[in-house]
Structure 1
Amino acid sequence: MTESSTTATAPSGMESRYGAPRRSVSKKSQRWMILGTLLLALAAMIYFTVGNSIGQITHNDVGYTITSDTEATVDFQVTKDLDATARCMIHVLDSSYAVVGAEIVTLGPQEGTGPEDRTQYYSTDVRTETRGVTGMVDSCW
């Protein structure tokens, strides 16, 4: 055996100390990893978007009428699933933003077939302790 053949198979000082150099990932493998990551990100985005919209209840104030010193009417719209039952807290406020009347309204399942039927308008009368100046939906659940 010659000296040149033994040095070719013997590990160099760096290899014996730190190990053999790592093999790099091929360009084809890199492309597949990037594509897989993008597909997973897209799937997560779709999952969270659809998951947050199903079962969500939203409300909007439409208007109010102060009918007397002891009563007000509040008009509002609620968007919910057709078969869901929701409850909404309605407040009537005075000029200093104090609650002078409150009512919890229960909204049962509604008829309809499409997404446009999820939004319905409601009106409710609220008794007040003193004359109110505004009416609003505080929250729905």
Structure 2
Amino acid sequence: MPFGEISVIEKDFGQQVNQDVESRHGFAAQASRRKLMAQARNWLLSATLRPTHSWVYWRDADVETAPFTILEDLMRHNKDVIVPNEDVWRPLPDWLGGEQPYDLNSWQESETALALADSLDEDAVIVEGYA
């Protein structure tokens, strides 16, 4: 698939983030880490998205396997937002199970999960895969 334009952008958010796997995936890091990722993605969208763009494709650096046709596969659904969660895998250390499907940050809430969220403090962070 040819690309009409590719942009390489750097933005320093002034935060030091430990990049070892244990620190990135530890529960204590999740709220601040996810906040920083959201800020970065929102900034990138506002800085680069133009009316001529139809899609944005986020791919985490640690995703190792995905179908060669991932872009075509996603575009074929013609949805405003879509998350691949089949045949896309990332490696994890053994203590986290070796590998996992991408992406644990998006899911559809069950009635049980909604009831749990209602019972928690509004500042509580719920992340999948943590007890």
| TM-score, length basis structure 1 | 0.19
Structure with greater proportional strand content: 1
Over alpha carbons, which structure has the higher Rg? Answer: 1
Higher relative contact order (CA 8 A, sep 6+): 1
| TM-score, length basis structure 2 | 0.20
